[in-house]
Structure 1
């Protein structure tokens, strides 16, 4: 996985944690706006329903066209076989030899045994796996145009492989990537909603799929910027549930440990009144410690195969919160020397400020 891929996880998990936890304090001030925001949300749902109806019609039309094209391709590919077995394409009987010309050995050649069927299934699975590897390159490293192209290909593949969770969660991931590159709130909300719906469909057929749970959580986290305050808190439970589920299935995913680290770090830093408000919606006050947060970030550091500046900064911040300033300055130095991209400017400023503040603990 690349640092660019990790950046998208950071943005999404940051949006989830800050949106969900920060909402607790904001709720006291903005409660009177709830009814108005609920009306806006209702309008969004109505617009979404209209879009989904339109999308359903488009998919049905596309499926019909694709089935027609696929039928034509099958007719061409089966032409040679049909020369010996006119029963395969009865519509063109006059063009081919009668099946009565075959002896018993000819007929045995066309017998499809169970082994042949298994071999065909394995071949299809292998072909799909190869396609997904190419599409993952576009999703992880490509620009918006590449991601949109990959998204279209994934949607086409869903017609051949309906209800395939590996396709559906990637559709959710693609919608998130496209939304992340936009500054248009309506467009972002629309793409996040489509991504969430794709992941929901995937969960229905693969409830133990780690990537499905992860990207569902990522999309839910990003959507917290576009829902009312009360819903932010409710979705916080959903976010945490799916991250926990994903990491229980795949404990070696560094991005999941980072997401849990961010959640734990911000929960540990909640003020008493924020916990009191959040408790009204979580059922009980969310609890976490800086030790727990640090453990998740350290596990992410161990599992990541690259120098992760953001993660090292978070380890340093945990150490500062635990009054372990000597170790904090060491992690700040590691973060400072990690590879820098143009997206790291704010992080670099924060690292420099913290180094100056805790310089004496070297």
Structure 2
């Protein structure tokens, strides 16, 4: 038994100190299982070997985003979010032409936004839009970049007067944002990846914001009928059900 334990420990040590590509491959297995702590055990040693690997830095940023859900306080979540943001920004610096790197910045800001005050939310929204636009320009086939632009229009179009006043202070002149543009972007995201339930539910929530009840029900129910595939799918469905309940 002792020899077996030593052998297993040796195999683990060799794996964690192996070639970067093998470490990344092992980390990817845990990434796909939404196990960020396990994934980081492989990604971080790989980072030491390749500190300027933009794709790897994006993967590490994603693990810190995943870890936010398991933390209790907003302070802890924001601290973890800042770690994610630092890796995303390093990824952009390592490869300014990487659409995934720019998208990672937008995703991190989007994850932290609900934890911020009104002014912080507006400042984050500006960064989300800028990064998502860069990602979409670099890779027009990235459905999630178009989705984030849809969410940006959806959020600004639904602002109350107080938040809109804060937005004008942050943006200077408040940029045009409409539910109609949000619908256009969500439909573009759906055309690129129709099996991503997030696109359908947020399209439906936009229709609800526009007062288009039947269209809202159809889009949200379509998303709710899809199987969960991504880490945030249960929370996305919760938002969809909450919107349906208010129609």
1 CA distance for matches of 2:87 and 2:202? 32
Q: State the 1:156 CA deviation.
A: 0.7
| Root-mean-square deviation over aligned CA pairs | 3.0
Residues 226-305 of structure 1 mapped to structure 2, 5 A cutoff? 229-305=118-194
Q: Which runs of 4+ in 1 moved over 6 A?
A: none
Name 1:347's counterpart in structure 2.
240
Q: Structure 1: give runs of 5+ residues left out of the alignment.
A: 1-65, 74-123, 355-362
TM (norm. structure 1) is: 0.55
Please name the residue that 1:180 is paired with. Answer: 69
3-state SS of paired residue (1:270): coil
Paired position in structure 2 for 1:334: 222
Matched residue, 2:200? 312
**1 or 2 for the larger relative contact order (CA 8 Å, sep ≥6)?**
1
Q: Structure 1 residues 133, 328: CA separation in 2 closer, same or farther (over 3 Å shift)?
A: same
Partners of 1:348 and 1:207 in 2: CA distance: 39
Structure 1 residues 151 and 273: CA distance shift in structure 2, 3 A:
same
1:1-362 correspondence runs (5 A): 128=21, 132-143=24-35, 147-225=36-114, 229-306=118-195, 308=197, 310-322=198-210, 324-339=212-227, 343=235, 344-345=237-238, 347-351=240-244, 353-354=246-247
Are 2:128 and 2:148, in contact at CA under 8 Å, matched by a contact in 1? Answer: no
Label 1:200 to 1:328 Cα distance change in 2 as closer, same or farther (>3 A).
closer
User: Deviation digits for residues 250-291 of structure 1, max 9, x if unmatched?
Assistant: 222222222211111121122445333311111211321111
Give the conservation status (yes or no) of the 8 Å contact 1:301–1:311: yes
Offset, 1:239: 1.8
TM-score scaled to structure 2, two decimals?
A: 0.77
Structure ranking higher in helix proportion = 1
Shift of 1:322: 4.7
Label 1:351 to 1:138 Cα distance change in 2 as closer, same or farther (>3 A): same
Gaps of 5+ in 2: 1-12
